[in-house]
Amino acid sequence: MDELPSSVLFYPKIDLQDKTLVKEALLLYDNLYRIVPNDVVPNDNPEIKSFIDQYDLIKPIDPKPYTKETMEQFKTKLDEWTAAGFHFEKDEKTSFLHSGKVYDKLRNYLLKEKLLSEDGCWLRGNEILISNYMIFLSNEISHQNKLALLTNFSPAFTIQEYVNYNGNFDDFPGIDFSGNKNNQALLSMCLIDYIPNNIEEISFSSLVEFRDEYRHERKNFLSQISSFPKELSHIREQSVFKDRLESLQDSLEDSLTDYKNSCSQIRAKYYWGAKFLTFPILIPIAEKFLSTDLGIIKGLAALGIFFGGLWTFYSYENDLECLQKTNPYSYLDLLESYSFEDIDNMNWLLKNEMKEFVCD
């Protein structure tokens, strides 16, 4: 199995204002990266800025080396959208895109077509167009550097999944198991109650001490979390899927115990927060897995892991290894409590955001 990402790219924003979000990310990941053009100084929370100056754990990535590849992918999609009759209205909500994030040829095209306008070193224009471009850029940077993608903005998460699978979705808002059995279902995996509830009180210096002392425990826990979507997405036999799931459950339970024991160092007794990841599996496996009351489902729920169906998409047998998705992308929701019903509601929200994006 390929080595799993140990660091993460935060998108789509540059500025870091949420201390809890930063601490949560650095609690598990080695480094936190963000896309920052050379001439931009992020507007960070003062405490975060002081931490960045003292520790080399939050780092910028200059987008310029990645803009040409991003242009080639984005321009193709832009032509497809135009051919389909979709237009980015100029009077819709506007946003700004730094000119250093766009390849010269694409920037000139967008200006010529009046899709964007210059505003100093920024490009001003339709928010949807700019958001879509940033998803393509983030995707390119993450793939070339083996970084997981992390966001706390659910529309960015759903758009990212659309890009990963070339928009090949079907049967909104849920899973229809009556279709071609070679099609795949996109499942969501939600991990809850793994962030120490006192994380806001933990100083950045204490967090670094914890990271250094318990490096093995936190990296093993992160690895086990990432193994679920990474490994299960490549299994094609139902019996193998069940056996592998049981094995992963045992490994995760051990790593979770070690991780929570290590968190006693920072006086953690209770946990909260949620992390959504997705992975594709063949329809027959999804059908059996989601419709059968397996004992393992209850065991996983006891660990704070819940599964749900998001949507189906076309992928025939010879396409199974051609999916663009290679990283365990995730979406964070830092809520203090969750129930099983809440997870269902979040699945409903994510499905509907994807549907709105496709329809728009």
DSSP string, 21-85: HHHHHHHH-S-EEEE--TT------HHHHHHHHH-TTEEEE-SGGGHHHHHHHHHHHHHHHHHTT
Which of 139, 156, 183 represents a domain boundary (last residue)? 139
Residue 322 scores a pLDDT above 60 = no
The reported pLDDT for the residue numbered 143 is 86
Q: Per-residue confidence at 321, pLDDT binned at 50, 70, 90? A: very low
Residues 27-51 have a mean pLDDT of: 93
Query: Model-level pTM?
Result: 0.84
3-class DSSP assignment, residue 120: coil
**Distance between CA atoms of residues 64 and 266, nearest Å:** 40
Domain check: are 183 and 254 in the same one?
Answer: yes
Q: Which two tokens stand for residue 89?
A: 């209205």
Nearest to 198 by CA among 5, 20, 17: 20
Q: Which residue has the higher pLDDT, 37 or 179?
A: 37
> Residue 244 belongs to what domain range?
165-359
Domain check: are 133 and 175 in the same one?
Answer: no
**Distance between CA atoms of residues 30 and 321, nearest Å:** 29
Domain check: are 287 and 340 in the same one?
Answer: yes
> What is the count of structural domains for the chain?
2
Domain check: are 189 and 103 in the same one?
Answer: no
**Within a domain: residue 33?**
no
Domain check: are 266 and 130 in the same one?
Answer: no
Q: Which residue has the higher pLDDT, 255 or 293?
A: 255
Residues 187-204 have a mean pLDDT of: 84
Residues 284-304 have a mean pLDDT of: 77
Q: What angle in degrees, to the nearest 10, is found between the helix axes of 46-54 and 204-213?
A: 40
**Within a domain: residue 267?**
yes
The residues facing 274 across adjacent strands are 192, 333
Residue 179 scores a pLDDT above 60 = no
**Distance between CA atoms of residues 64 and 323, nearest Å:** 26
The string of DSSP codes covering 263-320 is GGGGT---EEEEEEEEEEEEHHHHHHHHHS--HHHHHHHHTTEEEEEEEEE---GGGG
**Low-confidence winner among 69-78, 240-249, 313-322 (lowest mean pLDDT):** 313-322
Domain check: are 208 and 301 in the same one?
Answer: yes
Whether residue 24 contacts residue 273, with contact meaning beta carbons closer than 8 Å, is answered with yes
Domain check: are 123 and 172 in the same one?
Answer: no
The reported pLDDT for the residue numbered 84 is 60
**Within a domain: residue 89?**
yes
**Within a domain: residue 350?**
yes
